[in-house]
Chain A
Amino acid sequence: MDILYSFLKSTGFYTMSYQNVIMIVIGAIFVSLAILKNYEPLLLLPIGFGCIVGNIVAVEGMPVSVYDEGSVMRYIYQGVELGIFPPLIFLGIGAMTDFSTMLSNPKLVLLGAAAQMGIFLTLIGALFLGFTGREAASIGIIGGADGPTAIFLSSQLAPHYLGPIAIAAYSYMALVPIIQPPIMKLLTSKNERLIRMKAPRVVSRREKIIFPIVAFLICAIVVPGSLVLIGMLFFGNLLKESCVTERLANSARTSMIDIVTIFLGFSVGASTKAQYFLTNDSLKIFFLGALAFAISTACGVIFAKLMNLFLKDKINPLLGAAGVSAVPDSARVVQHVGQEEDPHNFLLMHAMAPNVAGVIGSAVAAGVLWSHFPKL
């Protein structure tokens, strides 16, 4: 009887709290959104399932969760905690990214900078709510709408908030098609949404090869803190554009990024154990994250309208919303919203320019914040 009782005490029914059940339901919602609504399935499915796994509570002394020394999950989670996975993701993104549209229309790069305003305004908001500088910087970076950057910075500055920040960043990235369109429509007139962009010029292969090297030097010299993320991004891009390392580029953009995404998504999900995750601070982080994302979108659109005051060839202000670096979702949203007004207006290609500039911008912003708050 004692053995049976001791076994029952080790089961999930005995050890789980109602908070764990809530987190399991949230995990199940993520999985459902990924499967039924196709919202960022490559991220939400591993995160959602990880969330379910992470909330099965084992008995004390049994190392199974990401927080238990010696558990397998703990070793996988080291890739997140030590900031190893995000640069590898950036390598893959670099090997996937085509900078052609950005190279053909350099003024659109500025939209990628404008959309980073959300990061810094949210930082102020987080400080106001009582977070420390390091925590506020990690929360603000959610506004960059770049999951790996958010994970990288919070792993360096506020590892205790890594779970909520990562979940908030990826959730809002998945919700780009819901969050952005109302803000874009609110800030633009019908006539502005109808603006058609000039066809981009053809970019030579030399430009594509020289660009990642020089752009890396500019970013790394101005902000050495951005070296890790930006370095990997442009290295991946050079592998692609050089055309002489096709095998390496192909591995980086397929197998490698897929493997890292699986480990990253699953272990981030598994880190959302209710006892660490369901706190008032997490709720504040989610609120601030949504605010950051909305401000970034709005700032991008408003900056595009400001640019139009000085430009002869007007740009469609919807492109400003693509300055947040949720690649390529925010560019797709721009295309979708533009086509609601004019089905023959193809903005996707043009929106990719601020979109990839946003990736660079958010990595630079992360570098700035990391430089200001060096490791203790």
Chain B
Amino acid sequence: MKEFSIQNIILEDGFALSLVGLSIVFTSLITISFFIYLLPKILNVLDPILPKATHLHHQTSTPKPKRDDSQTIAAIAYAIHQNHKENN
């Protein structure tokens, strides 16, 4: 049977661990928050140097296969021509 006691907390450094742990969590998230706040400003300064993100995206994405529509266009043109010929 486990004993309920404040002594258990003291023996395991519970108070110190909680305080330090919480401080580290806050430090990490405050640093992230501060970085997020600065990010647009940093990007404005670096804008002339950095490549455009959209440009990068187009370069690396899979290129769409080019379709050769010339035969379809020729067939449509031929059909229209035949239709005109029949009407005349």
A interface vs B, CB < 8 Å? Answer: 102-103, 106-107, 109-110, 112-113, 116-117, 119-121, 123-124, 127-133, 136, 204-207, 209-211, 214-215, 218-219, 222-223, 243-244, 357, 360-361, 364-365, 368-369, 372
Contacts and interface: CB of A to CB of B under 8 A. Distances in A.
B68 to A, nearest CB: 27
Contact of B40 (A136, A207, A361, A369): A207
B82 interface: no
A360 B36 contact: no
Contact of A211 (B26, B39, B56, B57): B39
A244 B2 CA distance: 55
Contacts of B4: 128-130
Chain B interface category by residue count: 35 or more
A25 B21 CA distance: 39
Interface of A is mostly: helix
Contacts of A364: 24-25, 28-29
Contacts of B22: 116-117, 120
Interface string B24-37: 11111111111111
B25 A113 contact: yes
B12 interface: yes
Q: Which of B12, B13, B26, B37 has the most CB of A within 10 A?
A: B12
Interface string B51-86: 001101100110000000000000000000000000
Given A123-B18, A218-B35, A128 B29 contact: no
A366 B5 CA distance: 25
B22 to A, nearest CB: 5
A106 B28 contact: no
A72 to B, nearest CB: 36
Contact of A361 (B12, B25, B39): B25
Contacts of B61: 243-244
Contacts of A124: 9, 14-15, 18
A62 B13 CA distance: 45
A131 B28 contact: no
20 contacts: A106-B34, A106-B36, A109-B30, A112-B29, A113-B26, A128-B8, A130-B5, A130-B8, A132-B12, A207-B39, A207-B43, A218-B31, A218-B32, A222-B31, A223-B28, A360-B29, A361-B29, A365-B25, A372-B17, A372-B21
Contacts of B36: 102-103, 106, 109, 211
B32 A360 contact: yes
A109 B33 contact: yes
Q: Which of A103, A205, A206, A207 gathers the greatest number of chain B CB atoms within 10 Å? A: A206
Given A109-B33, A215-B35, A368 B25 contact: yes
A127 B30 contact: no
Contacts of A106: 32-34, 36-37
Nearest to B26: A113
A127 B25 contact: no
Contacts of A119: 21
Contact of B24 (A121, A132, A222, A360): A222
B45 interface: no
Contacts of B35: 214-215, 218
B8 A127 contact: yes
Contacts of A136: 12, 14
A307 to B, nearest CB: 12
Contacts of A243: 57, 61
B4 to A, nearest CB: 6
B17 A123 contact: yes
A204 B42 CA distance: 13
Nearest to A222: B28
A366 to B, nearest CB: 10
A121 B25 contact: no
Nearest to A107: B33
A214 B42 CA distance: 13
A40 B7 CA distance: 39
B2 A131 contact: yes
Given A106-B36, A121-B18, A207-B39, A222 B27 contact: yes
Contacts of B56: 244
B64 to A, nearest CB: 14
